[in-house]
């Protein structure tokens, strides 16, 4: 079958190639024929060899990229009861597995959630990975449909895939959202539900943040970088009340890439312990969020984005043959929202 994959560890090009068919599902797995997917920053990093010692320790190549998408269930394992053949599903898969840029994928049943009539393929294709991480970050920041009402949330990096999904969900649940992103994206963030917008400079200059919770989704300027000194955390420490800081910008993959698997993981553990302890001395709960395959997060996304008031976050559309060129660009285009990839439309 046709797939888009990298073929070796360091600075590999993404190429279209024939790979063996997706295997027959094990009891807890499903096989899905892919229709569409999206682009996530992690795949660009994986193509440079970043994090390979952790996500692909055995060096298995070719490695298919693509972390999410939409497709149709072709076969189910004997223990899968929540999905049936012929259903349209939304997917999200860990960087530890072969991805979704393929005609068919065999994945754990927990990585797929059935779609209702009201959610289009294009809307569902872009939400799985970014949306699951956004839901997990919102939860880490004490926000869900029950706890969000009236809570003041600041989202740093609100205009990307994670941010545009999280802003809509938090605002829809009744939180007061301040969106921090480049000024050119402010009008769209207001449409998505932000009650206030700021650019990065303004947020950095604040003595105290207008927030009970802060979530950081902003890609660091250096690829794969993280923030040792974090001015947002410092400003949050000066406010009063219950405060929580959740970030998806974690040093783990960078540290294992630079220092090797075990020393990198030890450093990441020590770094996390130091950050948690220093934040807690100032009354802030500090949390790092790493994407996890989770059927509840997918179900929450399907529920939210099936409603009439949810807005599409697609800002750009590519056809699958454009993927190799897209991944050969040294810097990602700075486009808000999500890029949809039409893979194998039916």
Ligand X SMILES: NC(=O)c1ccc[n+]([C@@H]2O[C@H](COP(=O)([O-])OP(=O)(O)OC[C@H]3O[C@@H](n4cnc5c(N)ncnc54)[C@H](OP(=O)(O)O)[C@@H]3O)[C@@H](O)[C@H]2O)c1
Q: Which is nearer to ligand X, 245 or 291 (CB)?
A: 291
Is the distance from CB of 281 to CB of 134 less than 8 angstroms? no
d(CA 165, CA 173): 12
Q: Which is nearer to ligand X, 72 or 182 (CB)?
A: 182
Q: Which is nearer to ligand X, 217 or 304 (CB)?
A: 217
Q: How far apart are the first and last CA of the chain?
A: 16
Interacting span for ligand X (CB under 6 A) from 12-20, 119-127, 267-275, 288-296: 288-296
CB of 119 to ligand X, least distance (A): 20
For residue 315, count CB atoms less than 10 angstroms from its CB and return exposed for 0-12, middle for 13-18, buried for 19 or more. Answer: middle
Is the distance from CB of 154 to CB of 203 less than 8 angstroms? yes
d(CA 39, CA 338): 7
Candidates 12, 35, 100, 185: give the one binding ligand X (CB under 6 A).
185
CB of 254 to ligand X, least distance (A): 11
Does 130 engage in binding with ligand X (CB under 6 A)?
yes
Q: Which is nearer to ligand X, 73 or 158 (CB)?
A: 158
| x/- letters, 155..184, toward ligand X (CB under 6 A) | --xxxxxxx-----------------xx--
Sites for ligand X among residues 21-80 (CB under 6 A): 40-42
d(CA 104, CA 89): 13
Q: Is the dihedral of CA 110, 111, 113, 114 positive or negative?
A: negative
- Residue 254 has φ and ψ, to the nearest 5°, of -65, -40
Sites for ligand X among residues 212-231 (CB under 6 A): 217-219, 221
Within 8 A by CB and 6+ apart from 47, the residues are 6, 11, 12, 13, 14, 65, 327
d(CA 195, CA 214): 15
Q: Which is nearer to ligand X, 25 or 66 (CB)?
A: 66
The residue count of the chain comes to 346
CB of 156 to ligand X, least distance (A): 8
Interacting span for ligand X (CB under 6 A) from 16-24, 85-93, 256-264, 286-294: 286-294
CB of 31 to ligand X, least distance (A): 25
CB of 170 to ligand X, least distance (A): 15
Does 290 engage in binding with ligand X (CB under 6 A)?
yes
Q: Residue numbers of the site for ligand X (CB under 6 A)?
A: 40-42, 130, 133, 157-163, 181-182, 185, 217-219, 221, 248-250, 289-291, 334
């Amino acid at each position: 079958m046709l797939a888009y994959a990298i073929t070796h560890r360091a600075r590999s090009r993404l190429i279209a190639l024939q790979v063996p068919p997706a295997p027959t599902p094990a009891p807890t797995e499903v096989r899905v024929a892919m229709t569409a997917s999206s682009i996530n920053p992690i795949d660009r990093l994986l193509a440079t060899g970043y994090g390979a010692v952790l996500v692909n320790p055995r060096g298995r190549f070719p490695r298919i990229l693509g972390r999410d998408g939409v497709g149709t269930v072709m076969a189910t394992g004997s223990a899968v009861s929540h999905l049936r053949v012929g259903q349209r599903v939304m997917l999200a898969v860990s960087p530890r597995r072969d991805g979704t840029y393929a005609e068919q994928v065999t994945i754990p049943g927990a990585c797929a959630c059935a779609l209702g009539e009201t959610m289009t393929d294009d809307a569902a294709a872009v939400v799985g990975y970014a949306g699951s991480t956004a839901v997990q970050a919102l939860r880490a920041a004490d926000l869900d449909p029950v706890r969000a009402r009236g809570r003041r949330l600041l989202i740093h990096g609100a205009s990307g895939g994670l941010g545009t999904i999280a802003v809509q969900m938090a605002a829809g649940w009744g939180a007061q959202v301040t969106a921090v992103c480049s000024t050119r994206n402010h009008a769209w963030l207001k449409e998505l539900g932000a009650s206030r917008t700021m650019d990065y400079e303004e947020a950095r200059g604040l003595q105290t943040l207008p927030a009970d919770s802060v979530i950081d989704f902003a890609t660091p300027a250096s690829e794969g970088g993280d923030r040792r000194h974090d001015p947002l955390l410092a400003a949050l420490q000066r406010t009063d009340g219950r405060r929580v800081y959740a970030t998806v910008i974690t040093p783990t993959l960078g540290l294992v890439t630079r220092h090797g698997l075990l020393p990198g993981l030890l450093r990441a553990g020590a770094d996390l312990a130091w950050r948690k302890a220093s934040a807690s001395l100032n009354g802030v709960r500090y949390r790092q969020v790493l994407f996890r395959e989770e059927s509840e997060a997918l179900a929450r996304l399907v529920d939210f984005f099936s409603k009439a008031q949810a807005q599409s976050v697609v800002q750009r559309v590519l056809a699958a043959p454009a993927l190799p060129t897209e991944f050969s660009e040294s810097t990602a285009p700075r486009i808000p929202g999500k890029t949809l990839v039409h893979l194998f439309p039916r």
